[in-house]
Amino acid sequence: MLAIQQLPVLNDNYIYLIHDPESGDTAVVDPAVADPVLKALKQNNWSLKYILNTHHHADHVGGNLFLKEHTACKIVGYAADQKRIPGIDIKLSEGDTLTLGAHRIQVISCAGHTTGHIAFYIADTEALFCGDTLFSLGCGRLFEGTAQQMQQSLKKFAALPLNTKIYCAHEYTAANAQFAYSVEPNNPALLKMIERIKKLRSDHQSTVPSTLAQELASNQFLRTDIIEIKQTLAMQNAPELAIFTELRERKNRF
């Protein structure tokens, strides 16, 4: 079984270390900064084999070159976005795989937040490292992609097993919950999630990961077919893409 260590950095970012105890291989997902990663590697006596970048934003690739220089690791990113991934060595696309020890890491293309965003899915660990595409109770802003692209990306995630743990890259859950409540206040699963979030944050604990089952039951961006949400938006007869687009625009203004 892979060991996953979450490193909180900057204001609200999460870096993830993924370690295979059998092979000794370790990967890091979206190293915004290098020092906390090097410190954790030293404390655990782990050596870094891969950097896995979900997209090119500075708060996801900022530690790439320093880590590569000090660990001789290989940097993995989306082939079509290689010009924006510092130090990229291994260029992967939709459906490609990488191995960490005996564990298979699947690449899922998920444009929307950026045009070159990817996620890393490890089936035998039931883990999805989705960067800034899917958040707990939210989704990423559309900086480069379209609402249609983002919705299609989220539908890919929604088709994964329900037990999949969602390792997103930011602690946005409490703020996302406020917006979710504004559009679906009578959802029992959402109300349960809100209580969980309050408890975790009052204890200074992370709300991440959640599970896909929790997100499907409470994340409005995965629930564009729900009557209550359509009624809140006064869009009862609108198609799902229109619902999604309106939700994303309202979240931008919230």
204 as an active site residue: the answer is: no
Among 56, 103, 113, 117, the active-site one is: 113
**Which residues have C-beta within 8 Å of that of residue 76, sequence separation ≥ 6?**
50, 51, 52, 53, 88, 89, 90, 92, 98
70 as an active site residue: the answer is: no
**Rounded Cα distance, 138 and 154, in Å:** 11
Neighbour-count burial for 181-208, b at 16+ CB within 10 Å, e otherwise: bebbeebebbeebbeebeeeeeeeeebb
**DSSP character string of 27-61:** EEE--S-SHHHHHHHHHHT----EEE-S---HHHH
132 as an active site residue: the answer is: yes
Among 59, 81, 103, 117, the active-site one is: 59
Among 19, 57, 103, 117, the active-site one is: 57
57 as an active site residue: the answer is: yes
Among 19, 20, 25, 60, the active-site one is: 60
CB atoms within 10 A of CB 253: 6
Among 19, 55, 56, 103, the active-site one is: 55
Among 19, 103, 117, 170, the active-site one is: 170
59 as an active site residue: the answer is: yes
Just list the catalytic residues: 55, 57, 59-60, 113, 132, 170
